Chain A
Amino acid sequence: MSKPLISVRGLTKVFGDFTAVDGIDFDVAKGESFGLLGPNGAGKSTTMRILAATSTRTSGTVEILDKDPEKFGPLVRAHLGVVPQQDNLDGELTVSENLYIYGRYFGLSKKFIKAKIEELLEFAQLEEKRDVKVEALSGGMKRRLTIARGLVSEPDILLLDEPTTGLDPQARHILWDRLFRLKEQGVTLVLTTHFMDEAEQLCDRLVVMDKGAIMAEGTPQGLIKEYSSKEVLEVRFGSDRNKEVAPQLSQMCERMETLPDRILMYTEDGEKLLEQIAAAKMHPTTSLVRRSSLEDVFLRLTGRTLIE
Protein backbone atom coordinates (compact mmCIF):
# COMPACT_ATOMS: atom_id res chain seq x y z
CA MET A 1 0.00 0.00 0.00
CA SER A 2 1.32 3.46 -0.89
CA LYS A 3 1.86 6.04 1.79
CA PRO A 4 -1.42 7.45 3.17
CA LEU A 5 -2.39 11.05 2.33
CA ILE A 6 -3.52 11.63 5.90
CA SER A 7 -2.01 9.97 8.93
CA VAL A 8 -3.28 10.68 12.45
CA ARG A 9 -1.80 9.24 15.65
CA GLY A 10 -2.93 9.86 19.22
CA LEU A 11 -4.68 13.09 18.22
CA THR A 12 -6.02 14.93 21.25
CA LYS A 13 -7.71 18.31 21.57
CA VAL A 14 -8.63 19.77 24.95
CA PHE A 15 -10.71 22.93 25.46
CA GLY A 16 -10.27 24.02 29.08
CA ASP A 17 -11.30 20.95 31.08
CA PHE A 18 -13.25 19.38 28.19
CA THR A 19 -11.56 16.76 26.02
CA ALA A 20 -13.16 17.10 22.58
CA VAL A 21 -10.89 14.58 20.84
CA ASP A 22 -9.30 11.87 22.92
CA GLY A 23 -6.31 10.12 21.36
CA ILE A 24 -7.60 8.97 17.95
CA ASP A 25 -5.63 7.17 15.20
CA PHE A 26 -6.52 6.71 11.54
CA ASP A 27 -5.10 6.84 8.01
CA VAL A 28 -6.71 7.92 4.76
CA ALA A 29 -5.37 6.54 1.49
CA LYS A 30 -5.29 8.34 -1.86
CA GLY A 31 -8.60 8.15 -3.69
CA GLU A 32 -10.39 6.81 -0.66
CA SER A 33 -13.70 8.11 0.66
CA PHE A 34 -13.33 8.13 4.42
CA GLY A 35 -16.02 8.94 6.98
CA LEU A 36 -16.24 9.98 10.61
CA LEU A 37 -19.63 8.80 11.84
CA GLY A 38 -20.96 9.84 15.21
CA PRO A 39 -23.56 11.92 17.04
CA ASN A 40 -23.30 15.67 17.64
CA GLY A 41 -20.51 16.41 20.09
CA ALA A 42 -18.49 13.29 19.21
CA GLY A 43 -15.48 15.43 18.24
CA LYS A 44 -15.91 15.09 14.47
CA SER A 45 -15.90 18.79 13.63
CA THR A 46 -12.94 19.47 15.92
CA THR A 47 -11.02 16.70 14.14
CA MET A 48 -11.97 18.18 10.77
CA ARG A 49 -10.73 21.65 11.73
CA ILE A 50 -7.39 20.13 12.69
CA LEU A 51 -7.24 18.20 9.39
CA ALA A 52 -8.07 21.47 7.61
CA ALA A 53 -4.82 22.92 9.00
CA THR A 54 -6.62 25.76 10.74
CA SER A 55 -7.04 24.57 14.33
CA THR A 56 -4.18 23.61 16.65
CA ARG A 57 -4.03 20.29 18.50
CA THR A 58 -3.19 19.61 22.14
CA SER A 59 -1.11 16.47 21.49
CA GLY A 60 -0.52 13.65 19.03
CA THR A 61 0.81 13.78 15.48
CA VAL A 62 -0.93 14.63 12.22
CA GLU A 63 0.59 14.36 8.76
CA ILE A 64 -1.20 15.54 5.67
CA LEU A 65 0.67 15.01 2.39
CA ASP A 66 3.77 14.31 4.52
CA LYS A 67 3.55 17.63 6.34
CA ASP A 68 2.53 18.71 9.82
CA PRO A 69 -0.48 21.00 9.24
CA GLU A 70 0.35 23.03 12.33
CA LYS A 71 3.83 23.92 11.04
CA PHE A 72 3.02 24.23 7.34
CA GLY A 73 -0.54 25.59 7.41
CA PRO A 74 -0.54 27.54 4.13
CA LEU A 75 1.37 24.80 2.25
CA VAL A 76 -1.04 22.10 3.42
CA ARG A 77 -4.13 24.23 2.84
CA ALA A 78 -3.01 24.83 -0.75
CA HIS A 79 -3.96 21.17 -1.40
CA LEU A 80 -7.23 21.02 0.53
CA GLY A 81 -10.81 21.87 -0.30
CA VAL A 82 -12.88 22.61 2.78
CA VAL A 83 -16.67 22.49 3.11
CA PRO A 84 -17.57 23.61 6.63
CA GLN A 85 -20.69 22.59 8.51
CA GLN A 86 -22.13 26.08 8.26
CA ASP A 87 -21.99 27.69 4.80
CA ASN A 88 -19.72 30.73 4.99
CA LEU A 89 -20.28 32.20 1.56
CA ASP A 90 -20.25 35.95 0.95
CA GLY A 91 -23.98 36.66 0.71
CA GLU A 92 -23.48 40.09 -0.81
CA LEU A 93 -21.63 38.70 -3.82
CA THR A 94 -23.05 36.67 -6.69
CA VAL A 95 -22.51 32.96 -7.23
CA SER A 96 -19.72 33.44 -9.78
CA GLU A 97 -18.11 36.27 -7.76
CA ASN A 98 -17.88 33.95 -4.76
CA LEU A 99 -16.06 31.35 -6.85
CA TYR A 100 -13.81 33.95 -8.45
CA ILE A 101 -12.73 35.59 -5.19
CA TYR A 102 -12.07 32.24 -3.59
CA GLY A 103 -9.88 31.19 -6.50
CA ARG A 104 -7.89 34.38 -6.05
CA TYR A 105 -7.14 33.39 -2.44
CA PHE A 106 -5.21 30.45 -3.92
CA GLY A 107 -3.31 32.87 -6.11
CA LEU A 108 -4.79 31.30 -9.25
CA SER A 109 -4.72 33.23 -12.50
CA LYS A 110 -7.84 34.97 -13.76
CA LYS A 111 -7.79 32.87 -16.90
CA PHE A 112 -7.65 29.61 -14.95
CA ILE A 113 -10.44 30.66 -12.58
CA LYS A 114 -12.73 31.89 -15.37
CA ALA A 115 -12.55 28.50 -17.10
CA LYS A 116 -12.90 26.69 -13.79
CA ILE A 117 -16.05 28.64 -12.88
CA GLU A 118 -17.83 27.30 -15.98
CA GLU A 119 -16.92 23.75 -15.04
CA LEU A 120 -17.97 24.20 -11.40
CA LEU A 121 -21.28 25.91 -12.21
CA GLU A 122 -22.16 22.93 -14.34
CA PHE A 123 -21.05 20.49 -11.65
CA ALA A 124 -23.10 22.31 -9.00
CA GLN A 125 -26.06 22.72 -11.37
CA LEU A 126 -26.00 26.46 -10.80
CA GLU A 127 -25.44 27.71 -14.38
CA GLU A 128 -28.64 29.72 -14.31
CA LYS A 129 -27.81 31.26 -10.96
CA ARG A 130 -24.36 32.56 -11.85
CA ASP A 131 -25.29 36.23 -11.48
CA VAL A 132 -27.66 35.79 -8.55
CA LYS A 133 -26.69 37.05 -5.13
CA VAL A 134 -25.92 34.16 -2.81
CA GLU A 135 -28.45 35.43 -0.25
CA ALA A 136 -31.24 34.50 -2.65
CA LEU A 137 -30.23 30.84 -3.03
CA SER A 138 -31.96 27.88 -1.36
CA GLY A 139 -30.16 25.86 1.31
CA GLY A 140 -29.34 23.06 -1.13
CA MET A 141 -27.96 25.48 -3.72
CA LYS A 142 -25.79 27.22 -1.12
CA ARG A 143 -24.44 23.85 -0.08
CA ARG A 144 -23.60 22.89 -3.65
CA LEU A 145 -21.93 26.27 -4.16
CA THR A 146 -19.86 25.78 -1.00
CA ILE A 147 -18.71 22.42 -2.35
CA ALA A 148 -17.97 23.95 -5.76
CA ARG A 149 -15.98 26.68 -4.03
CA GLY A 150 -13.96 24.01 -2.22
CA LEU A 151 -13.08 22.50 -5.61
CA VAL A 152 -11.90 25.71 -7.30
CA SER A 153 -8.25 24.94 -6.55
CA GLU A 154 -8.48 21.29 -7.71
CA PRO A 155 -7.64 19.99 -4.23
CA ASP A 156 -6.06 16.61 -3.50
CA ILE A 157 -8.35 16.14 -0.53
CA LEU A 158 -11.89 17.45 -0.04
CA LEU A 159 -12.99 17.79 3.60
CA LEU A 160 -16.75 17.88 4.14
CA ASP A 161 -18.22 18.55 7.57
CA GLU A 162 -21.84 17.35 7.78
CA PRO A 163 -22.45 17.95 4.05
CA THR A 164 -26.20 17.34 4.04
CA THR A 165 -27.31 18.36 7.53
CA GLY A 166 -30.32 20.66 7.34
CA LEU A 167 -31.24 19.78 3.76
CA ASP A 168 -34.52 18.28 2.60
CA PRO A 169 -34.44 14.71 1.20
CA GLN A 170 -34.43 15.78 -2.45
CA ALA A 171 -31.57 18.22 -1.95
CA ARG A 172 -29.65 15.53 -0.08
CA HIS A 173 -29.99 13.08 -2.96
CA ILE A 174 -28.76 15.66 -5.49
CA LEU A 175 -25.78 16.32 -3.25
CA TRP A 176 -24.99 12.65 -2.80
CA ASP A 177 -25.02 12.24 -6.54
CA ARG A 178 -22.53 15.10 -6.93
CA LEU A 179 -20.24 13.72 -4.23
CA PHE A 180 -20.42 10.27 -5.76
CA ARG A 181 -19.19 11.73 -9.05
CA LEU A 182 -16.21 13.28 -7.29
CA LYS A 183 -15.46 9.91 -5.75
CA GLU A 184 -15.53 8.33 -9.19
CA GLN A 185 -13.11 10.97 -10.44
CA GLY A 186 -10.69 9.82 -7.76
CA VAL A 187 -10.94 12.81 -5.41
CA THR A 188 -10.03 11.79 -1.84
CA LEU A 189 -13.02 12.61 0.35
CA VAL A 190 -13.08 12.91 4.13
CA LEU A 191 -16.52 13.56 5.54
CA THR A 192 -18.28 13.66 8.86
CA THR A 193 -21.91 12.76 9.27
CA HIS A 194 -24.45 11.65 11.80
CA PHE A 195 -26.60 10.08 9.10
CA MET A 196 -25.94 6.38 8.77
CA ASP A 197 -27.47 6.25 5.29
CA GLU A 198 -25.07 8.95 4.15
CA ALA A 199 -22.11 7.05 5.56
CA GLU A 200 -23.27 3.85 3.85
CA GLN A 201 -23.74 5.58 0.52
CA LEU A 202 -20.55 7.58 0.36
CA CYS A 203 -17.86 5.99 2.51
CA ASP A 204 -15.46 3.25 1.46
CA ARG A 205 -14.28 3.10 5.03
CA LEU A 206 -15.26 4.83 8.23
CA VAL A 207 -14.64 5.20 11.92
CA VAL A 208 -17.45 5.34 14.45
CA MET A 209 -16.78 8.13 16.95
CA ASP A 210 -18.35 8.82 20.32
CA LYS A 211 -17.24 11.22 23.06
CA GLY A 212 -13.98 12.05 21.30
CA ALA A 213 -12.87 8.44 20.84
CA ILE A 214 -12.99 5.94 17.98
CA MET A 215 -15.23 3.00 18.85
CA ALA A 216 -14.74 0.94 15.67
CA GLU A 217 -13.26 1.13 12.21
CA GLY A 218 -14.03 -0.67 8.95
CA THR A 219 -16.07 -0.68 5.77
CA PRO A 220 -19.80 -0.06 6.22
CA GLN A 221 -20.58 -3.69 5.33
CA GLY A 222 -17.73 -5.03 7.46
CA LEU A 223 -18.86 -3.06 10.51
CA ILE A 224 -22.43 -4.26 10.10
CA LYS A 225 -21.27 -7.83 9.78
CA GLU A 226 -19.02 -7.55 12.80
CA TYR A 227 -21.32 -5.70 15.20
CA SER A 228 -24.82 -6.60 14.11
CA SER A 229 -26.90 -9.47 12.78
CA LYS A 230 -28.04 -9.84 9.17
CA GLU A 231 -31.57 -8.63 9.79
CA VAL A 232 -33.47 -6.56 12.31
CA LEU A 233 -37.10 -6.99 13.30
CA GLU A 234 -38.63 -3.78 14.61
CA VAL A 235 -41.79 -4.27 16.62
CA ARG A 236 -44.07 -1.82 18.38
CA PHE A 237 -46.53 -2.77 21.07
CA GLY A 238 -47.39 0.77 22.15
CA SER A 239 -45.25 2.70 24.56
CA ASP A 240 -46.69 1.13 27.72
CA ARG A 241 -46.57 -2.49 26.62
CA ASN A 242 -43.08 -2.38 25.08
CA LYS A 243 -41.46 -2.80 28.47
CA GLU A 244 -43.91 -5.48 29.57
CA VAL A 245 -43.24 -7.81 26.67
CA ALA A 246 -39.50 -7.14 26.50
CA PRO A 247 -38.35 -9.96 28.84
CA GLN A 248 -40.32 -12.56 26.90
CA LEU A 249 -39.09 -11.31 23.52
CA SER A 250 -35.47 -11.19 24.57
CA GLN A 251 -35.41 -15.00 24.81
CA MET A 252 -36.38 -15.34 21.16
CA CYS A 253 -33.39 -13.54 19.58
CA GLU A 254 -29.63 -13.17 19.80
CA ARG A 255 -29.77 -9.57 20.99
CA MET A 256 -32.39 -6.93 21.63
CA GLU A 257 -32.56 -3.16 22.15
CA THR A 258 -35.58 -1.54 23.78
CA LEU A 259 -36.01 2.04 22.56
CA PRO A 260 -38.70 4.37 23.93
CA ASP A 261 -40.98 3.85 20.92
CA ARG A 262 -39.98 0.42 19.58
CA ILE A 263 -38.08 -2.79 20.18
CA LEU A 264 -35.25 -3.86 17.88
CA MET A 265 -34.64 -7.61 17.65
CA TYR A 266 -31.41 -8.79 16.02
CA THR A 267 -31.68 -12.02 14.06
CA GLU A 268 -30.56 -13.84 10.92
CA ASP A 269 -34.14 -14.29 9.71
CA GLY A 270 -36.64 -11.58 10.55
CA GLU A 271 -39.70 -13.17 9.00
CA LYS A 272 -39.14 -16.39 10.90
CA LEU A 273 -38.82 -14.47 14.17
CA LEU A 274 -42.04 -12.61 13.45
CA GLU A 275 -43.83 -15.94 12.97
CA GLN A 276 -42.49 -17.11 16.33
CA ILE A 277 -43.85 -13.98 18.00
CA ALA A 278 -47.25 -14.55 16.43
CA ALA A 279 -47.16 -18.20 17.54
CA ALA A 280 -46.50 -17.00 21.09
CA LYS A 281 -49.79 -15.07 20.83
CA MET A 282 -48.12 -11.67 21.06
CA HIS A 283 -49.50 -9.19 18.57
CA PRO A 284 -47.36 -6.14 17.87
CA THR A 285 -49.29 -3.12 16.54
CA THR A 286 -46.68 -2.68 13.82
CA SER A 287 -43.72 -4.73 12.66
CA LEU A 288 -40.95 -4.24 10.11
CA VAL A 289 -38.17 -6.50 8.91
CA ARG A 290 -35.11 -4.72 7.55
CA ARG A 291 -31.44 -5.40 7.06
CA SER A 292 -28.98 -4.16 9.67
CA SER A 293 -27.54 -0.67 9.24
CA LEU A 294 -24.77 1.45 10.74
CA GLU A 295 -27.38 2.83 13.13
CA ASP A 296 -27.52 -0.65 14.68
CA VAL A 297 -23.73 -0.76 14.84
CA PHE A 298 -23.70 2.53 16.70
CA LEU A 299 -26.43 1.37 19.07
CA ARG A 300 -24.47 -1.77 19.81
CA LEU A 301 -21.25 0.13 20.44
CA THR A 302 -22.60 2.97 22.55
CA GLY A 303 -26.05 1.91 23.75
CA ARG A 304 -27.40 5.13 22.21
CA THR A 305 -28.97 6.17 18.91
CA LEU A 306 -27.15 8.50 16.50
CA ILE A 307 -29.79 11.19 16.41
CA GLU A 308 -31.13 11.97 19.83
Chain B
Amino acid sequence: MNTGIDVPQIQRFGALYIASARLKSMSKWKAIIAAVDIGNPLFYLIAVGIGIGVLVEQGSGTSGTNGIKYIAFIAPALLASTAITGVMDETVFPTIEGFKWRKLFFAQNATPITGRQIAIGVYLAAICRAIFSVSIYYILLLAFNVVDFGVSALLVPVAIFGGAAFGAVILFAAAKIEKDDQFFNILGRLVIMPMFLFSGTFFPLSSMPIYLQPIGWVSPLWHATELGREAAYDYGISNVMVIVHLIFLSTLVAAGIVLAMRQFERRLAK
Protein backbone atom coordinates (compact mmCIF):
# COMPACT_ATOMS: atom_id res chain seq x y z
CA MET B 1 0.00 0.00 0.00
CA ASN B 2 1.31 3.39 -0.95
CA THR B 3 1.02 5.83 1.89
CA GLY B 4 2.89 8.53 0.01
CA ILE B 5 -0.23 9.80 -1.76
CA ASP B 6 -1.23 13.18 -0.36
CA VAL B 7 -4.83 13.62 -1.50
CA PRO B 8 -5.34 17.12 -0.01
CA GLN B 9 -2.29 18.28 -1.96
CA ILE B 10 -3.71 16.83 -5.17
CA GLN B 11 -6.97 18.62 -4.43
CA ARG B 12 -5.03 21.89 -4.24
CA PHE B 13 -2.66 21.45 -7.16
CA GLY B 14 -4.33 18.90 -9.45
CA ALA B 15 -5.22 21.50 -12.07
CA LEU B 16 -1.54 22.47 -12.29
CA TYR B 17 -0.54 18.82 -12.84
CA ILE B 18 -2.96 18.71 -15.77
CA ALA B 19 -1.72 22.04 -17.12
CA SER B 20 1.89 20.89 -16.98
CA ALA B 21 0.98 17.67 -18.81
CA ARG B 22 -0.75 19.75 -21.47
CA LEU B 23 2.31 21.98 -21.82
CA LYS B 24 4.44 18.87 -22.22
CA SER B 25 2.19 17.70 -25.07
CA MET B 26 2.32 21.16 -26.65
CA SER B 27 6.11 21.18 -26.41
CA LYS B 28 6.12 18.24 -28.83
CA TRP B 29 4.73 20.70 -31.37
CA LYS B 30 7.00 23.60 -30.44
CA ALA B 31 8.49 23.98 -33.93
CA ILE B 32 5.08 24.23 -35.56
CA ILE B 33 3.69 26.51 -32.85
CA ALA B 34 6.69 28.84 -33.18
CA ALA B 35 6.42 28.88 -36.99
CA VAL B 36 2.73 29.75 -36.82
CA ASP B 37 3.16 32.34 -34.09
CA ILE B 38 5.98 34.12 -35.90
CA GLY B 39 4.86 33.57 -39.51
CA ASN B 40 1.28 34.68 -39.10
CA PRO B 41 2.07 38.16 -37.70
CA LEU B 42 4.80 38.66 -40.29
CA PHE B 43 2.39 38.07 -43.15
CA TYR B 44 -0.15 40.45 -41.66
CA LEU B 45 2.29 43.22 -40.84
CA ILE B 46 3.81 43.11 -44.31
CA ALA B 47 0.47 42.91 -46.16
CA VAL B 48 -1.28 45.55 -44.09
CA GLY B 49 1.68 47.80 -43.38
CA ILE B 50 2.92 47.97 -46.95
CA GLY B 51 -0.30 47.30 -48.85
CA ILE B 52 -3.69 47.97 -47.32
CA GLY B 53 -2.52 50.57 -44.80
CA VAL B 54 -0.97 52.75 -47.47
CA LEU B 55 -4.13 52.50 -49.57
CA VAL B 56 -6.36 53.45 -46.62
CA GLU B 57 -4.24 56.39 -45.62
CA GLN B 58 -4.10 57.67 -49.23
CA GLY B 59 -7.88 57.57 -49.28
CA SER B 60 -8.83 59.19 -45.99
CA GLY B 61 -5.66 59.88 -44.03
CA THR B 62 -6.14 58.93 -40.42
CA SER B 63 -9.46 60.74 -39.98
CA GLY B 64 -11.45 57.52 -39.84
CA THR B 65 -9.26 56.04 -37.13
CA ASN B 66 -9.14 58.89 -34.63
CA GLY B 67 -5.75 60.03 -35.89
CA ILE B 68 -4.02 56.67 -35.43
CA LYS B 69 -1.91 55.11 -38.17
CA TYR B 70 -3.96 52.36 -39.84
CA ILE B 71 -1.61 49.52 -38.94
CA ALA B 72 -1.51 50.75 -35.33
CA PHE B 73 -5.29 50.99 -35.37
CA ILE B 74 -5.73 47.33 -36.21
CA ALA B 75 -2.79 46.11 -34.07
CA PRO B 76 -4.88 45.64 -30.87
CA ALA B 77 -7.38 43.59 -32.85
CA LEU B 78 -4.65 41.46 -34.39
CA LEU B 79 -3.21 40.78 -30.94
CA ALA B 80 -6.60 39.92 -29.47
CA SER B 81 -7.50 37.64 -32.34
CA THR B 82 -4.13 35.93 -32.00
CA ALA B 83 -4.92 35.28 -28.34
CA ILE B 84 -8.36 33.99 -29.31
CA THR B 85 -7.15 31.55 -31.97
CA GLY B 86 -4.29 30.40 -29.72
CA VAL B 87 -6.61 29.66 -26.83
CA MET B 88 -9.09 28.02 -29.19
CA ASP B 89 -6.48 25.64 -30.62
CA GLU B 90 -5.42 24.57 -27.14
CA THR B 91 -8.93 24.07 -25.76
CA VAL B 92 -11.01 22.65 -28.60
CA PHE B 93 -8.61 19.97 -29.83
CA PRO B 94 -7.48 18.70 -26.43
CA THR B 95 -11.05 18.65 -25.15
CA ILE B 96 -12.49 16.64 -28.01
CA GLU B 97 -9.41 14.43 -27.94
CA GLY B 98 -9.74 14.02 -24.17
CA PHE B 99 -13.37 12.99 -24.23
CA LYS B 100 -13.53 11.21 -27.54
CA TRP B 101 -10.51 10.46 -29.67
CA ARG B 102 -7.99 9.21 -27.15
CA LYS B 103 -10.11 9.47 -24.01
CA LEU B 104 -7.19 10.94 -22.08
CA PHE B 105 -9.53 12.69 -19.66
CA PHE B 106 -10.89 9.34 -18.55
CA ALA B 107 -7.34 8.21 -17.77
CA GLN B 108 -6.69 11.41 -15.81
CA ASN B 109 -9.99 11.05 -13.96
CA ALA B 110 -9.05 7.50 -12.87
CA THR B 111 -6.53 9.16 -10.53
CA PRO B 112 -7.44 11.45 -7.61
CA ILE B 113 -7.77 14.28 -10.17
CA THR B 114 -11.35 15.51 -10.68
CA GLY B 115 -13.19 16.60 -13.82
CA ARG B 116 -13.20 20.19 -12.57
CA GLN B 117 -9.44 20.16 -12.22
CA ILE B 118 -9.05 18.77 -15.73
CA ALA B 119 -11.17 21.63 -17.12
CA ILE B 120 -9.08 24.25 -15.30
CA GLY B 121 -5.81 22.57 -16.25
CA VAL B 122 -6.64 22.55 -19.97
CA TYR B 123 -7.73 26.19 -19.70
CA LEU B 124 -4.57 27.34 -17.91
CA ALA B 125 -2.34 25.65 -20.47
CA ALA B 126 -4.31 27.34 -23.26
CA ILE B 127 -3.78 30.72 -21.59
CA CYS B 128 -0.04 29.97 -21.51
CA ARG B 129 -0.17 29.45 -25.25
CA ALA B 130 -1.93 32.81 -25.66
CA ILE B 131 0.72 34.53 -23.55
CA PHE B 132 3.42 33.04 -25.78
CA SER B 133 1.70 33.93 -29.08
CA VAL B 134 0.72 37.46 -28.07
CA SER B 135 4.18 38.23 -26.66
CA ILE B 136 5.83 37.24 -29.92
CA TYR B 137 3.35 39.32 -31.86
CA TYR B 138 3.99 42.32 -29.63
CA ILE B 139 7.75 42.01 -30.11
CA LEU B 140 7.19 42.01 -33.87
CA LEU B 141 4.97 45.10 -33.57
CA LEU B 142 7.85 46.83 -31.82
CA ALA B 143 10.31 45.61 -34.43
CA PHE B 144 8.10 46.91 -37.26
CA ASN B 145 7.76 50.24 -35.46
CA VAL B 146 3.99 49.88 -35.33
CA VAL B 147 3.92 50.75 -31.64
CA ASP B 148 6.41 52.48 -29.37
CA PHE B 149 7.67 50.63 -26.35
CA GLY B 150 5.97 51.88 -23.20
CA VAL B 151 2.30 52.14 -22.41
CA SER B 152 1.53 50.06 -25.53
CA ALA B 153 2.70 47.03 -23.53
CA LEU B 154 -0.79 47.09 -22.00
CA LEU B 155 -1.98 45.64 -25.31
CA VAL B 156 -0.52 42.30 -24.28
CA PRO B 157 -2.58 41.61 -21.11
CA VAL B 158 -5.70 43.10 -22.70
CA ALA B 159 -5.40 40.75 -25.70
CA ILE B 160 -4.83 37.77 -23.40
CA PHE B 161 -7.91 38.79 -21.42
CA GLY B 162 -9.93 38.69 -24.67
CA GLY B 163 -8.53 35.26 -25.48
CA ALA B 164 -9.33 34.05 -21.99
CA ALA B 165 -12.94 35.23 -22.29
CA PHE B 166 -13.49 33.49 -25.61
CA GLY B 167 -11.54 30.42 -24.43
CA ALA B 168 -13.71 29.86 -21.36
CA VAL B 169 -16.86 29.77 -23.47
CA ILE B 170 -15.34 27.59 -26.18
CA LEU B 171 -14.00 25.18 -23.54
CA PHE B 172 -17.57 24.64 -22.39
CA ALA B 173 -18.82 24.28 -25.97
CA ALA B 174 -16.13 21.75 -26.85
CA ALA B 175 -16.98 19.69 -23.75
CA LYS B 176 -20.62 19.71 -24.84
CA ILE B 177 -19.86 18.37 -28.33
CA GLU B 178 -20.70 14.68 -28.69
CA LYS B 179 -20.48 14.53 -32.50
CA ASP B 180 -17.51 16.44 -33.78
CA ASP B 181 -18.19 15.89 -37.52
CA GLN B 182 -18.83 19.46 -38.59
CA PHE B 183 -17.83 21.26 -35.42
CA PHE B 184 -14.51 22.57 -36.70
CA ASN B 185 -15.98 23.76 -40.01
CA ILE B 186 -18.81 25.56 -38.29
CA LEU B 187 -16.54 27.05 -35.66
CA GLY B 188 -13.93 28.25 -38.13
CA ARG B 189 -16.16 29.55 -40.88
CA LEU B 190 -19.33 30.64 -39.13
CA VAL B 191 -17.98 31.86 -35.78
CA ILE B 192 -14.32 32.84 -36.01
CA MET B 193 -14.35 34.35 -39.51
CA PRO B 194 -17.41 36.64 -39.05
CA MET B 195 -16.16 37.60 -35.61
CA PHE B 196 -12.83 38.60 -37.11
CA LEU B 197 -14.47 40.65 -39.88
CA PHE B 198 -17.27 42.35 -37.95
CA SER B 199 -15.73 43.19 -34.58
CA GLY B 200 -14.31 46.58 -35.42
CA THR B 201 -11.09 44.91 -36.44
CA PHE B 202 -10.39 46.71 -39.71
CA PHE B 203 -12.75 49.68 -39.27
CA PRO B 204 -14.62 51.15 -36.28
CA LEU B 205 -17.76 49.23 -35.40
CA SER B 206 -19.75 52.48 -35.65
CA SER B 207 -19.02 52.70 -39.38
CA MET B 208 -21.13 49.59 -39.95
CA PRO B 209 -24.93 49.76 -40.30
CA ILE B 210 -26.58 49.41 -36.90
CA TYR B 211 -28.09 45.99 -37.70
CA LEU B 212 -24.58 44.52 -38.11
CA GLN B 213 -23.17 46.07 -34.96
CA PRO B 214 -24.63 43.45 -32.55
CA ILE B 215 -22.08 40.97 -33.93
CA GLY B 216 -19.45 43.20 -32.38
CA TRP B 217 -21.33 43.69 -29.14
CA VAL B 218 -21.37 39.97 -28.35
CA SER B 219 -17.85 39.40 -29.64
CA PRO B 220 -15.05 39.24 -27.07
CA LEU B 221 -12.76 40.37 -29.89
CA TRP B 222 -14.51 43.75 -30.15
CA HIS B 223 -14.46 44.34 -26.41
CA ALA B 224 -10.79 43.42 -26.14
CA THR B 225 -9.90 45.48 -29.19
CA GLU B 226 -11.63 48.61 -27.88
CA LEU B 227 -9.99 48.19 -24.48
CA GLY B 228 -6.61 47.74 -26.15
CA ARG B 229 -7.01 50.88 -28.28
CA GLU B 230 -7.99 52.89 -25.25
CA ALA B 231 -5.14 51.54 -23.14
CA ALA B 232 -2.44 52.01 -25.75
CA TYR B 233 -3.48 55.14 -27.67
CA ASP B 234 -6.07 56.99 -25.60
CA TYR B 235 -8.56 56.20 -28.31
CA GLY B 236 -11.22 58.36 -26.69
CA ILE B 237 -13.87 55.96 -25.45
CA SER B 238 -15.79 56.83 -22.30
CA ASN B 239 -14.99 55.43 -18.87
CA VAL B 240 -18.42 53.86 -18.82
CA MET B 241 -17.59 51.89 -21.93
CA VAL B 242 -14.26 50.80 -20.44
CA ILE B 243 -16.19 49.37 -17.50
CA VAL B 244 -18.72 47.73 -19.82
CA HIS B 245 -15.89 46.04 -21.74
CA LEU B 246 -14.25 44.84 -18.55
CA ILE B 247 -17.52 43.50 -17.14
CA PHE B 248 -18.42 41.77 -20.39
CA LEU B 249 -15.09 39.96 -20.66
CA SER B 250 -15.04 39.06 -16.95
CA THR B 251 -18.54 37.65 -17.18
CA LEU B 252 -17.54 35.41 -20.10
CA VAL B 253 -14.52 34.13 -18.17
CA ALA B 254 -16.55 33.39 -15.04
CA ALA B 255 -19.61 31.91 -16.75
CA GLY B 256 -17.55 29.88 -19.23
CA ILE B 257 -15.36 28.37 -16.52
CA VAL B 258 -18.25 27.49 -14.22
CA LEU B 259 -20.20 25.86 -17.05
CA ALA B 260 -17.11 24.07 -18.39
CA MET B 261 -16.18 22.65 -14.98
CA ARG B 262 -19.71 21.32 -14.49
CA GLN B 263 -19.83 19.85 -17.99
CA PHE B 264 -16.44 18.13 -17.59
CA GLU B 265 -17.55 16.62 -14.29
CA ARG B 266 -20.89 15.40 -15.66
CA ARG B 267 -19.52 13.93 -18.84
CA LEU B 268 -16.81 12.00 -16.99
CA ALA B 269 -19.29 10.63 -14.45
CA LYS B 270 -21.68 9.13 -17.01
Chain A residues with a Cβ under 8 A of chain B = 52, 54-56, 73-75, 77-80, 82, 84, 86, 88-93, 97, 101-102, 104-109, 112, 149, 153-156
Contact = CB atoms under 8 A, between A and B. Distances in A.
Given A54-B110, A74-B113, A102-B111, 6 more contacts: A79-B2, A84-B106, A88-B103, A90-B25, A90-B107, A107-B9
B11 interface: yes
Nearest to B18: A105
Contacts of A77: 110-112
Contacts of B112: 73-75, 77-78, 105-107
Given A55-B269, A74-B11, A109-B4, A86 B103 contact: yes
B110 A82 contact: yes
A48 to B, nearest CB: 11
Contacts of B270: 55
A84 B268 CA distance: 14
A88 B4 contact: no
Task: For the complex of A and B, list the 3 residue pairs with the smallest distance between their C-beta atoms, beginning with the closest.
Answer: A154-B2, A74-B112, A105-B111
B24 A93 contact: yes
A46 B35 CA distance: 45
B111 to A, nearest CB: 4
Interface string B10-23: 11011001101100
A104 B5 contact: no
Contacts of B2: 79, 153-155
Contacts of A105: 10, 14, 17-18, 21, 108, 111-113
Contacts of B14: 105
A189 to B, nearest CB: 15
**Secondary structure call for the B interface:** helix
A93 B108 CA distance: 15
Interface in B106-157: 106-114
A90 B111 contact: no
B20 A104 contact: yes
B55 interface: no
A74 B269 contact: no
Contacts of B25: 90, 92-93
Contacts of B187: none
Contacts of B10: 74, 78, 105-107
Interface of B: 1-2, 4-7, 9-11, 13-14, 17-18, 20-21, 24-25, 28, 102-104, 106-114, 268-270
Contact of B268 (A54, A93, A112, A153): A54
Contacts of B17: 104-105, 107
A91 B97 CA distance: 11
Contacts of A80: 110
Given A54-B269, A90-B25, A104-B17, A156 B1 contact: yes
Nearest to A65: B1
Contacts of B9: 107
A155 B11 CA distance: 19
Contacts of A106: 5, 10, 111-112
Contacts of B107: 84, 88-90, 102, 149
Contacts of A102: 107, 111
B265 to A, nearest CB: 10
A97 B111 CA distance: 16
Given A54-B268, A105-B111, A88 B106 contact: yes
Nearest to B266: A56
A144 B247 CA distance: 51
Given A93-B25, A101-B21, A154-B2, A107 B110 contact: no
Contacts of B21: 90, 101, 104-105
Given A78-B5, A106-B112, A153-B2, A88 B104 contact: yes
A107 B13 contact: yes
A61 B223 CA distance: 51
A97 B110 contact: no
A134 B21 CA distance: 16
A108 B4 contact: yes
B20 A84 contact: no
Which residue, B103, B110, B112, B113, has most C-beta atoms of chain A within 10 A?
A: B110
Given A104-B21, A107-B17, A154 B114 contact: no
Contacts of A112: 4
Nearest to A149: B107
Contacts of B114: 73-74
A149 B111 CA distance: 11
A118 B141 CA distance: 49
A154 B1 CA distance: 6
A154 to B, nearest CB: 4
A54 B108 contact: no
